[in-house]
Structure 1
Amino acid sequence: MEAPPLERKLAAILAADVEGYSRLMNGDEEQTLATLTSHRTIVDALIENAHGQIFGTAGDSVLAEFPSIVHAFNSAVAIQQAMWRANQELPEDRRMNFRIGINVGDVLVKNGDIFGDGVNIAARLEGLADVGGICVSRGVRDHLRDRVDATFEDLGEHSIKNIARPLRVFRVIFDPEGDPAIDLAASPVESPETSSFVEQSLSQDRDSDDEGHRVELAFWESVQEGDDPAEYLLYLERFPNGQFVELANARLESGGTGEHDPGIELAFWETVREAGNSEMLEAYLAKYPQGQFSDLANIMLGELRGS
């Protein structure tokens, strides 16, 4: 068989990992997974909105590639700032923090994955970062020095496993409580030509689609308010391909009620997040004002209202 094509390119690599993940899992597996899901929703959105492509998502780790060092850096800072906000709503023993490393270098792309020294160095930098912090290589620091609102502390040279030469490491000094520079609710920036074409293609259908969503949402809110299994069946009959089909089926399996089931809330949130409109976000917040994803929902709702 012919070997898959191997591509080599220069890229900015971001590696992130949850600090103390094993400890958190040992304490409460279900709650840790719920928190990880909530945090990863934020992390993934920020990476995508900074033009990044996510490759590795094993367990609590994230590996992403960016065509620009500035985009990778802005994404890293925004992630740490968003995590700081999300953690404020959690008890201290449930807070989940990331370490992040950024490197720029050659990577190999094969079978939809990336590897090579450029990736290995980013992972080692992540391991040297503080909890909630960011470490970068000298190449990243030199490129960013006069382009970003941050300073870099020289941590000296470090011997890195499987890397022949010592690595010069820099700690990023930034405001973790600052406002993220990346719009969480926005889609990745498109070219003017693509954006114009998409707007023209969707403009004729948008009003009718929005009206249909509003009708379905109103119907669903009345169904879940009563929490009657028969009404869930009626919803499934009327909207067989609706946005809440999975949630309705889950409610039926649980005997109707889903008030305290984290799985039900997660299914509801996934539906709301994919829809990405203010009505759906308001419906989630009305049902789960103190829910796992309420902080993210408020952020996205604020962004939508602001735009």
Structure 2
Amino acid sequence: MERRLAAILVADVVGYTRLMGQDEAGTLERLSAVRSKVIQPLIAQHHGRIFKLVGDGLLAEFASVVDAITCAIEWQRTLIQGRVTSDGKKPLSFRIGLNLGDVIVDGDDLLGEGVNIAARLEAQAEPDCICLSEDAYRQVAGKVEAEFEDLGNLELKNVDQPVRAYQIALSGAVQPAGVTPTPSSSLKKPTVAVLPFHNLSGENDQEYFADGVSEDIISALSRNRWLMVIARNSSFAYKGETIDVKKISSQLGVRYVLDGSVRKGGNRIRIAAQLIDAASEKQIWAERYDRVLEDIFAVQDEVTGAIVAAIAPELDKAEQQRATSKKSGNLNAWDVYQRGMWHLYKRTKEDLTEARKHFEAALSQDPCLSLACSGLVDAYYYEVVLGLTDTPAENCERALRTARMAVELDPDDAAAHCAMGKARIVSREHENAIPDLKLAIELNPSLAWAHYGLGAAAVFLGNADDAIPHLEGAIRLSPRDQHMGSYMVRLAEAYLLKHDYPLAIEWGRKALQQQGFQWSRYAVILAGLGYSGRTEEAARVFGECLIHRPDFSVSMVRRCHLYTHAPALEHYLDGLRKAGLPE
């Protein structure tokens, strides 16, 4: 068996299946042109050879890592520059993985772990970027002009040991024609460093518990694919040091820092955590968790889940605030997406229209931004459930199509599968939504909307007992979520199904106190009041709702609600009639 050391480059087209679905002939023509005019000449120029073509991708071998990385950089820069002066056709975007490793020679083909690692790194690379192993990085550091981002240790499929990896993000990589390129650092996802939690117990045997909490948070936060989490080895380098947020931010290149402490006393333990915006050094979230220490691992899992679920929406809010405060002429795709989210949560007809425009603009800048697809699904969803569109069937079709695009762009993203669940729910395919939402929870157990989605599907199917645990779980997971009004109104409707009208009214009123307008918050209160015989109070609530929705009526609720269980819907509508609503 012949073996040798080689630099292996693996590349493929981002979103190839979607591009083929939209324009098969044109995509094949562009891929053939890029291969013949750009890729093959560059590989030959840098003394490499293509040893395998796989559909939209290829594998190439180089004797020198420096030649391989130089070829990859010129490849990406050439295509990016061509995109800026594009003729309007959909551009091709590539991911590239590069590894230096031992390979097995099989005729003209190469096999072995050296090839496998390069392929797995290619899958980890962001669009228009190059992801390389530490072995390759050591050979090229200081020899090529490029900015390397340390990705930490990555768990790669079918690779026994974690692989330290680095990424090169080329300046202007996601800018469309007519947009001034911005530095690559401004294009990155928000980045957070989880520092080792301090052991304040005075007991050395609690050190492992404090470290365990930090490690679990790092692991769990990493499941949010819109967030870049610094690897454990890098953040734990600050263990035992006095915290200097500015210094840590500069050295690790992070926007946010999570710090915390653990204190044990008797059979009780207190875990405190705070999230800090590194630029302003302001605290944007803090919480304290007191627990009885019966099963230390159960406590560790419970508190980790609570912290991660609380942090994600707070980071989302901070990113929206940061994006809306920037000047409009200096926005990258991520900023545009966050502006869309800011409009989305207002849930007026005008704001949902603006949200869609922002998500579409973000996708025009970065066609591979899966989260912008998920945001579009949200906008279509709310326009239907709030009764703000004249074409609900068209919205449902667009939501399903866009959700499929999100899943195709990132099959491992929980938010993408959650978007598919939303699209199926708004299309009244509740049974079909359940597998999508369960998969989203498998990928990210802390994703509150996926838990809510399971509860909402159960409500619309008339299964109150199945719905309540999921809805309560969503509220418990993310107590300051911007979707909280939706979580609470569905819980109110679940209690309405159970004929527990006091609780239905109570949760409906709690929902009214949350951000954004939803007519269903008024509707569930009115149905509860109707069944309780409180008609005078119902008249006041109905008057408040008419200010926002002059067309509010029994027929409007019938048209807009997502129930597919006829008895459940009729029970709801009868309550509204008893409250005095017109047909």
TM-score, L = length of structure 1: 0.54
Q: CA deviation at 1:132?
A: 0.5
* Residues 1:85 and 2:50 are matched in the alignment: no
Rounded to whole Å, the distance in 2 between the matches of 1:164 and 1:93 is: 42
Rounded to whole Å, the distance in 2 between the matches of 1:94 and 1:164 is: 38
Cα deviation, 1:22-55, whole Å, max 9, x if unaligned, reads 0000001110011001111111110111000101
Aligned to 2:143: 147
* Alignment counterpart, residue 112 of structure 2, candidates 116, 124, 143: 116
Rounded to whole Å, the distance in 1 between the matches of 2:141 and 2:170 is: 13
Aligned to 1:133: 129
Contact 1:10 1:106 in 2 (8 A): yes
Rounded to whole Å, the distance in 2 between the matches of 1:170 and 1:34 is: 32
* Alignment counterpart, residue 69 of structure 1, candidates 65, 70, 74: 65
Aligned to 2:35: 40
Rounded to whole Å, the distance in 1 between the matches of 2:118 and 2:172 is: 21
Higher-Rg structure is 2
Contact 1:39 1:86 in 2 (8 A): no
Secondary structure of residue in 2 paired with 1:81 = helix
* Alignment counterpart, residue 157 of structure 1, candidates 146, 153, 156: 153
Structure 1 unaligned residues grouped into runs of 5+: 1-5, 179-307
Cα deviation, 1:116-161, whole Å, max 9, x if unaligned, reads 1000100111111111000110111111111111121111111111
Rounded to whole Å, the distance in 2 between the matches of 1:20 and 1:140 is: 27
Q: CA deviation at 1:87?
A: 2.4
Letter of the structure 1 residue corresponding to residue 158 of structure 2: N
Cα deviation, 1:216-259, whole Å, max 9, x if unaligned, reads xxxxxxxxxxxxxxxxxxxxxxxxxxxxxxxxxxxxxxxxxxxx
Rounded to whole Å, the distance in 2 between the matches of 1:93 and 1:124 is: 30
Rounded to whole Å, the distance in 2 between the matches of 1:176 and 1:13 is: 26
Letter of the structure 1 residue corresponding to residue 30 of structure 2: T
Secondary structure of residue in 1 paired with 2:54 = coil
Secondary structure of residue in 2 paired with 1:77 = helix
Contact 1:145 1:151 in 2 (8 A): no
Cα deviation, 1:187-230, whole Å, max 9, x if unaligned, reads xxxxxxxxxxxxxxxxxxxxxxxxxxxxxxxxxxxxxxxxxxxx
Contact 2:128 2:169 in 1 (8 A): no
Rounded to whole Å, the distance in 2 between the matches of 1:89 and 1:148 is: 26
* Residues 1:23 and 2:18 are matched in the alignment: yes
Q: CA deviation at 1:92?
A: 5.9
Q: CA deviation at 1:93?
A: 6.0
Letter of the structure 1 residue corresponding to residue 145 of structure 2: D
Rounded to whole Å, the distance in 2 between the matches of 1:161 and 1:128 is: 11
Contact 2:98 2:136 in 1 (8 A): yes
Change (3 A) 1:87 1:36: same
Rounded to whole Å, the distance in 1 between the matches of 2:115 and 2:83 is: 28
TM-score, L = length of structure 2: 0.29
Q: CA deviation at 1:175?
A: 3.9
Rounded to whole Å, the distance in 1 between the matches of 2:47 and 2:41 is: 10
Rounded to whole Å, the distance in 2 between the matches of 1:49 and 1:119 is: 22
Contact 1:81 1:176 in 2 (8 A): no
Rounded to whole Å, the distance in 1 between the matches of 2:35 and 2:131 is: 20
Secondary structure of residue in 2 paired with 1:9 = strand
Rounded to whole Å, the distance in 1 between the matches of 2:166 and 2:22 is: 33
Secondary structure of residue in 1 paired with 2:4 = strand
Aligned residues: percent identity?
Answer: 42
Contact 1:80 1:176 in 2 (8 A): no
Change (3 A) 1:165 1:102: same
* Alignment counterpart, residue 95 of structure 1, candidates 91, 94, 102: 91
Q: 1:260-275 maps to which residues of 2 (within 5 A)? A: none
Secondary structure of residue in 2 paired with 1:101 = strand
Q: CA deviation at 1:108?
A: 0.8
Aligned to 1:281: none
Letter of the structure 1 residue corresponding to residue 15 of structure 2: G
Rounded to whole Å, the distance in 2 between the matches of 1:34 and 1:139 is: 36
Cα deviation, 1:55-108, whole Å, max 9, x if unaligned, reads 111211010000000000000001001111232343666110100011000011
Rounded to whole Å, the distance in 2 between the matches of 1:92 and 1:125 is: 31
Contact 2:6 2:103 in 1 (8 A): yes
Rounded to whole Å, the distance in 1 between the matches of 2:33 and 2:15 is: 17
Rounded to whole Å, the distance in 1 between the matches of 2:108 and 2:139 is: 28
Aligned to 1:196: none
- Larger RCO of the pair (alpha carbons < 8 Å, separation 6+): 1
Secondary structure of residue in 2 paired with 1:94 = coil
Greater Cα offset, 140-149 or 8-17:
140-149
Q: CA deviation at 1:176?
A: 5.6
Q: CA deviation at 1:111?
A: 2.4
Change (3 A) 1:170 1:92: farther
Change (3 A) 1:90 1:151: closer
Aligned to 2:54: 58
Letter of the structure 2 residue corresponding to residue 10 of structure 1: L
Change (3 A) 1:29 1:173: closer
Rounded to whole Å, the distance in 2 between the matches of 1:40 and 1:8 is: 29
Q: CA deviation at 1:110?
A: 0.6
Rounded to whole Å, the distance in 2 between the matches of 1:88 and 1:148 is: 24
Change (3 A) 1:141 1:68: same
Letter of the structure 2 residue corresponding to residue 99 of structure 1: R
